[in-house]
A and B are shown apart, each in its own frame.
Chain A
Amino acid sequence: MPPVTTAHYVMLSAILMGVGLFGVVTRKNAVIVLMGLELMLNAANLAFVAFARHHGNLQGHVFTFIVIAVAAAEAAVALSIMIALYRLKGSITLDDAQELKG
């Protein structure tokens, strides 16, 4: 088996991105869509760290740190929206939220 290189990590990152996208595109449960999104963010994080290593500095780590913070904020807000949506519609199925109005 050849040694693991940056390309491996990039490919892994792309696969994880694809898995996350698959979840986002196919699922109608908003929570699981959000999980797909988190997976995609993680894929990006993986690429960042791999590139940081590849280039021999810590910028990628810093970026990843901030992405994690943003992801946390995003998750908090998105889940709040889901709660509000649930109150409004009685479900968090995305198909039920398509009127484009309140």
Chain B
Amino acid sequence: MDDASFWLGGLTAVTGGLMAVTRRNAVASVMWLVGAFLGMSVLFLGMDAGFIGVIQVLVYAGAIMVLFLFVIMLLKLTPAGLARVDRPKMTIAGILAAGALTAILCAVAVASPAWTRDGTDAAIRARTGTLVQGRTAAVADRLFSDHLLPFEITSVLLLAAIVGSVALTKRKV
């Protein structure tokens, strides 16, 4: 594992994410989120997942976030703060639950020797014989052989999404 890329990417992603969900201005949020996604991309590349890292930038930071920007600008949204605290109990419960979930997951990760002791590069290589290289050819090999059906279904899903978006946004005629 590339320790530097983990710390760099992780820090970027968490910072970007935190900033994104706390900005009053939606455009600022989008920009921070783009930053977070770039950090994610660094993380993927650090894990030798080149293909995913690239489409992370292309699809997320590029396409999806641009779509977000378009919509935000289209709707002329005024800056909006955190949710009005008209149901404080529910909001606090949500925050506590989110924190608890995070804590539990972290605790599980720390407490699991399979992920700590056997999670280093050396241990993984010793156990699996290799460190997988998520290059385009390799991923495509898997995608078009064993996972062809989910891939095709995904294309149908995308088609449905296109049709749905058009139908939803079309003005009534």
Contacts and interface: CB of A to CB of B under 8 A. Distances in A.
Direct contact of A and B (CB under 8 A): yes
Interface string A41-67: 010011001101111111101101110
B4 to A, nearest CB: 9
Chain A, interface residues (CB within 8 Å), range: 35 or more
Contacts of A58: 132, 134, 138-139, 142
B136 to A, nearest CB: 10
Given A3-B121, A4-B120, A68-B59, 10 more contacts: A9-B43, A12-B13, A21-B101, A22-B98, A31-B72, A35-B68, A42-B56, A57-B128, A62-B139, A75-B67
Nearest to B64: A75
Contacts, number: 267
Interface string A9-31: 11111111111111101111101
A19 to B, nearest CB: 4
Chain B, interface residues (CB within 8 Å), range: 35 or more
B116 A7 contact: yes
11 contacts: A5-B119, A6-B124, A10-B106, A11-B110, A12-B6, A38-B33, A46-B40, A56-B130, A65-B143, A79-B165, A92-B75
B128 A26 contact: no
A38 B21 CA distance: 11
A27 B105 contact: no
Nearest to B33: A35
Contacts of B10: 8, 12
A57 B43 CA distance: 18
A72 interface: yes
Interface of A: 1, 3-23, 25-29, 31-32, 34-36, 38-39, 42, 45-46, 49-50, 52-59, 61-62, 64-66, 68-77, 79-84, 86-87, 92-95
Interface string B22-57: 110010011001001100100110011101100110
A82 B75 contact: yes
Across the A-B interface, the 7 shortest Cβ-Cβ residue pairs? A56-B128, A23-B21, A5-B119, A25-B94, A18-B102, A6-B119, A14-B105
B37 to A, nearest CB: 7
B20 A22 contact: no
Given A7-B109, A18-B101, A75-B64, A68 B134 contact: no
Given A3-B120, A49-B49, A73 B1 contact: no
A53 to B, nearest CB: 5
Contacts of A22: 21, 95, 98
